[in-house]
Amino acid sequence: MLLALVVTHDGFSLWHEVFAGNTNDAAAFPQIITTMEQRFGAARRVWVLDRGIASDANLAFLRERKQSYLVGTPRSRLSGFEAELCTRAWTAVRGQVEVRTVSRDGQTYVLARSAQRRLKERAIRRRQLLGLYRNLKTLAATVATGRLKQADRVLERVGRLRERWPAAGRFAAITLQRDEAGQAQRVRCSWHKDKLKAALARDGAYLLLSDQTDWSAAQLWATYMQLTRAEEAFRTMKSQQLLRPIWHHDDERVRAHVFVCVLAYALWKALEHMLHNAGLRTLIRKQDPSQPQVDRPDRPMSPAVALRILHDVPIGDILLETLDGHTLRLRRVARPNPEQAELLAALKLTLPERLCADAGATSPRSLGLPTEGQPAEM
C-alpha cells in the first residue's frame, strides 16, 4: 500500500489517505495532489518534496497547476555550484548549519552545508580510501612476488575491490602491467586528486530548488526541514506502531488497520508533547569506552523510554470466595515504584485504582453481607 500523511509543524497528523500499493512514490504523486485538491480545495500550496519524488515530470505537473514547490536535488547538481561553495557569503541558521541562495533561470537554489554532516561524510570516505588502499597494497604484493600471474584473475580481484569500496573506487586509477607473455607483472594505483578536492569541497553540502524567489535562505531551509516531521511520523508508525507487515487482502481492512495506526500515532505524539512540556530528560549512564573523558549531556525523554518505564506497572486480580459459592474478581492496579511515580507526577497523571468493573457477585447476599432486617452470619 501507499500512505499519504499530512502533519503539522509539530508532527501531529491532520489527514491521511491510503492509495494502491506496488506504485512508485514519484508516479503516485500526481494522484496525491488531485486527492488533496478534491478534499481541501485547489489552494496555492508549497509542496516540499525529497529527491525521490522531485522528478522533472512532477515539477512540471506542479507548474501546470500553479503550485509552488521546494525540493531536494540530486547530489550531482552540486558540481555546478563549486564556485559558490568556496565563497564566504553564508548565513548561519542553526548550530553548525549554514545556507545561502543562488538565483538562476528564474528559480532559487539553496545551498546548505552542515559541519556534522561534513565530518560524517569525510569519515566514511576516509574509511573507504584506507580500505581500498590496503587491499590494493596486498594485491600488488601478491602480484609482485609472482603468487598471482593470471591477468584475468587480477582484473577480477580489482573489480571486486571496486565493488567493496565504491565510494573510493571512483578516485582511483588502477592499471595492470603485463610481461611479454601476457602475465600479470605489477599493479599500480594513482589517485585523481582533482576529483578528491572537489569532493572535499562538497562534503556536508546539499542543494535545494524552489520557485519562491522572494523567500530568504533561512526561510527556505526551515520550510524544507519540516519534511523531517513527516519522515519521523512514518518511522514511528513503521517501528513503534508496527504498521507493517500485516497481510490484509481486503481494502477496507487495510484502511481500518492504517486508521488504528494513525490513532496510535496521535497518542504517541501527544505523549511526546507532554514529555517536552514537562522538561523530562533521560540520564545517560553508559559512556563511550573509547571516549571516557567526554561527558555526554542528558537527552530529552522519548515516548519509547516513558512507555518502557510504565510498562512494569503490575495489574493483578484479587479472587474472593463468597458464602454462596460465587467468586468475586477484583482487578486492581498496583502502586507505582518511585521512578514511575516521579514520571507520572511530572506528566500530571494519576493511575486508576481499577481498570474495569468488578466481575462476579455484586449483591450484599452474595458477598455474605447482612441484608436489612437480617442478622449477620458468624
pLDDT above 90 for 139: yes
Return the bridge partners of 102, or none.
109
What pLDDT score was predicted for residue 137?
Answer: 94
Question: What is the pLDDT averaged over residues 71-88?
Answer: 86
What pLDDT score was predicted for residue 196?
Answer: 92
What is the distance between the alpha carbons of residues 316 and 155, in angstroms, rounded to a whole number? Answer: 69
pLDDT above 80 for 93: yes
What is the distance between the alpha carbons of residues 337 and 208, in angstroms, rounded to a whole number? Answer: 50
What is the distance between the alpha carbons of residues 353 and 339, in angstroms, rounded to a whole number? Answer: 19
Lowest mean pLDDT among 43-52, 53-62, 261-270, 353-362: 353-362
Q: What angle do CA 193, 199, 201 make, to 5 degrees?
A: 105
366: confidence class by pLDDT, cuts 50, 70, 90: very low
pLDDT above 80 for 11: no
Q: Residues 6 or more apart from 119 whose CB is under 8 A from it?
A: 204
pLDDT above 90 for 138: yes
Residue whose grid cell is 458464602: 323
What is the distance between the alpha carbons of residues 322 and 362, in angstroms, rounded to a whole number? Answer: 10
Question: What is the pLDDT averaged over residues 252-257?
Answer: 84
Residue whose grid cell is 573523558: 293
The CA–CA distances, whole Å, from 372 to 271, 360, 362, 366, 369 equal 50, 22, 16, 14, 10
Question: What is the pLDDT averaged over residues 355-359?
Answer: 73
pLDDT digits (tens, 9 = 90+) for 142-180: 999 999 999 999 999 999 999 999 999 999 999 999 988
Return the bridge partners of 46, or none.
68
What is the distance between the alpha carbons of residues 13 and 233, in angstroms, rounded to a whole number? Answer: 8
Of 202, 200, 198, 205, residue with least CA distance to 113: 205
40: confidence class by pLDDT, cuts 50, 70, 90: confident
Q: What percent of the chain has pLDDT over 90?
A: 31
39: confidence class by pLDDT, cuts 50, 70, 90: confident
What pLDDT score was predicted for residue 367?
Answer: 46
Give the residue with greater pLDDT, 376 vs 281.
281
What pLDDT score was predicted for residue 191?
Answer: 94
Taking the domains of the chain in order of start, what are their residue ranges? 2-108+208-249, 117-199, 312-334+352-378
What pLDDT score was predicted for residue 28?
Answer: 86
DSSP code of residue 11: -
DSSP code of residue 359: B
E strand or H helix that includes residue 297: none
